[in-house]
Amino acid sequence: MGKVFSHTTRRSLSPEEVMNALEAFRNPSRWPEWNSTAKNMLATNPETIDEGDHVAVFQMVKGALIEAKWLVNGIRVGENFSEIELLGEGQYRNEREIGKGLKNLKLTLTFLSQTDGGIEIHSACEVSGLMMIFSKQINTFMKKQTQTLLDDLSEVK
């Protein structure tokens, strides 16, 4: 069993801003409009994200095309909230798996559309003991991943 790294970030937003962000997130065809890192995206269904769907986000990193694959593990919806859990299925560069040291990568996005509500994003992953020497870089990655996604969702109009 390895060490678990996690990071949570949240931002207060108006109910309208939260609903706009949720609608944009649940519509894969809109991801390249609001997601600053996604140059393109493939999804099981191009118009909605549902539980059990697979999504692949493509981005350019240092001139290389990187594909991040995700499984929509769960969606919970209530009167004023929605929670979406994504499980990482791996990252690939030129169809070769990269980033093998991060296990059980999970993103949980919570959209609370009420007064004093907002968006909360929690990311967590597990690493082996050997990967502990990269703990600073892993913490930086977790913080950057959640903050970038929150910043992008907060700007949706």
This prediction has a pTM of 0.92
CATH of 3-154, one of 1.10.10.10, 3.30.530.20, 3.40.50.150, 3.30.420.10: 3.30.530.20
Question: CA geometry: angle at 115 spanning 113 and 119, to 5°?
Answer: 45
Residue count (the chain): 157
Q: What is the largest CA-CA distance in the chain?
A: 46
Give residue-wise pLDDT tens across range 53-92: 999 999 887 888 889 999 999 999 999 999 999 999 999 9
- The 3-class secondary structure across 64-86, one letter per residue, is EEEEEEEEEEEEEECCCEEEEEE
* Per-residue pLDDT tens digits for 21-43: 999 999 999 998 999 988 788 99
